[in-house]
Amino acid sequence: MQHVAIVTDTIACLSKDHVERHHICVVPIKFSIKGREYRDSVDISPSEAYRLLEEDPKSFSTSAASPIEILDIFREASKIASHILCVTISSRLSAQHDMAQVALGLARQELPQTTIEVLDSRNAAAAEGLIVLAAARAAAQGKSPAEVTEIARDVSSRVRFLVVLETVRYVYRTGRIPKIAAQAGSTMNIKPILTALDGLIRFAGVARTKQRGLNRLIQAMRNEVGSKPVHAAVMHADAPEEAEDLKQRIASEFECSELWVSEFSPLMGYATGRGLLGLAFYVEG
């Protein structure tokens, strides 16, 4: 039995291979569309969810996993290790962190022999996934609970998240800009660039074409990474071929210690639309 088991949520956008290879326990976040509830990446694939979302976006709603559902995952993780590190999506983007804290209180009564720590990743999507994988590798190496948590915190402080949208049309759903402004921007065909800062998703600029937007993302990565080894992930919202092209470009231009493709969760893609492409990365410490 290893010292630490890692728990996260489906917003981290980890592949089935990641989850199985690193023995990561995943809490499914839920969403409803057309009156039916789905567990993200369990009952439906991201690409299928995007198609339903495009057909009837007004019926779409999300809900964090309940404390009881998270407690079930803690029970599963307690069979792997006597200490659990639960890495959640940013508490400023979702109630998931709060629900995990409630589940922690329940677990103290039911699982007294298991120590559980809940860590706010202050990130989302593949940026959160990179944090989780760093923690999982440290746990597999037999590092102590304190060391695993410190590694996760360190990566959280350094990981970058940058995406370019196919259209500005849907971003009014975030509540950050009026719908009329999004419609006007869509008419102009501008491509918004978003980043993560202080636990929130923020605008980082616009590009006239998607290719120019991707060039800006890669230049930002180059400015930070230089020639150092980098851990990276390519994100996409139902654009697998474009994502594979971007992955090949990253592989050819950077020294990647880790590089994988991540399907952007529709729980976030609701506010970005299909066609999103992006990068999450951090320099190897």
pLDDT at 175: 54
Determine the residue type at 73. I
User: What is the model's pLDDT at position 191?
Assistant: 87
State the Cα angle at 102 between 100 and 108, rounded to 5°: 100
**DSSP code, position 69:** H
Q: How far apart are CA 111 and CA 37, in angstroms?
A: 30
- What digits encode the pLDDT tens for the residues 115-152? 999 999 999 999 999 999 999 999 999 999 999 999 99
What pLDDT shows up at residue 114? 96
- Give pLDDT, residue 206: 86
Structural domains for the chain: 4-29+64-157 (3.40.50.10440), 160-283 (3.30.1180.10)
Give the pLDDT confidence score for residue 181 in this predicted structure. Answer: 42
Element (H, E) at 136: helix 125-140
The Cα 66–Cα 243 span in angstroms is 33
Q: At what angle do helices 210-225 and 240-253 cross, to 10 degrees?
A: 30
**Is the separation of the CB atoms in 238 and 50 below 8 Å?**
yes
Give φ, ψ of 151 to 5 degrees.
Answer: -65, -45
Instruction: Name the pairing type of β-strands 83-88 and 115-120.
Output: parallel
Please choose, from the candidates 175, 208, 172, 181, the residue with its C-alpha nearest in 3D space to the C-alpha of residue 193: 208
| pLDDT < 50 stretches in the chain | 178, 180-185
**What is the pLDDT at residue 22?**
94
pLDDT number for residue 131 = 98
Taking phi over 0 as left and psi of -120 to 50 as alpha, with beta for the rest, 199 belongs to left
Look at residue 182 in the predicted model and tell me its pLDDT.
45
SS3 content of the chain, % helix, strand, coil (to 5): 45, 25, 30
In this prediction, residue 184 carries a pLDDT of: 42
pLDDT, tens only, 85-99:
999 999 999 999 999
CB atoms near residue 130 (< 10 Å): 29
Identify the three-state secondary structure at position 30.
strand
